[in-house]
Amino acid sequence: MMKIAIAADHGGVEMKAELIALIESLGHEVTDFGTNTTQAVDYPDYAKIVSMQVAQGEYERGILICGTGIGMSIAANKIAGIRCALVGDVFSAKATRLHNDTNVLALGARVTGIELAKMITEVWLQTSFEGERHLKRLAKITELEHVCKGE
């Protein structure tokens, strides 16, 4: 059982509701950080809320949904400690857990169908990090959090 934080912009509200039901059915605890209407909002605000919760250790994983998933993934990866992958296929859902130990999943509700999104989410939640040779690569990603412009 994991604690999962989830949020969407106006483009991902319907998908978010379906994924919450799925995540609960899998036995995880899920907290909905909005949005819950189709009124336009700014995806970085929601990426920040969920990513901060995960980075601070309040939640083990986060899921972010916008129209393409691109904006959410870009924003989430600005937060130190977050490894967010935009995923549109089941192979990548598994690989990004095995190899990248991603702690945030981004989905594009206008790109990926709901049944595929459910499969991606289930595989991503249930796959463990392989560790070993991937550890030094993740350490190198973490080092990049300290790289400034021109350095």
Which residue in the list 99, 134, 146, 148 is annotated as catalytic? Answer: 99
Contact range with ligand RB5 by CB under 6 A, out of 20-28, 61-69, 114-122, 136-144: 61-69
State yes or no: is 66 an active-site residue.
Answer: yes
State yes or no: is 28 an active-site residue.
Answer: no
By the rule CB under 6 A, 70 interacts with ligand RB5: yes
**Minimum CB distance to ligand RB5 smaller for 30 or for 66:** 66
> Which residues in 6-25 contact ligand RB5 (CB under 6 A)?
9, 11
**Minimum CB distance to ligand RB5 smaller for 66 or for 76:** 66
Q: What is the DSSP string of the chain?
A: --EEEEEE-GGGHHHHHHHHHHHHHTT-EEEE----SSS---HHHHHHHHHHHHHTTS-SEEEEEESSSHHHHHHHTTSTT--EEE--SHHHHHHHHHTT--SEEEEETTTS-HHHHHHHHHHHHHPPP--THHHHHHHHHHHHTT--TT-
The catalytic residues are 66, 99
Residues in contact with ligand RB5 by the rule CB under 6 A: 9, 11, 43, 66-68, 70-71
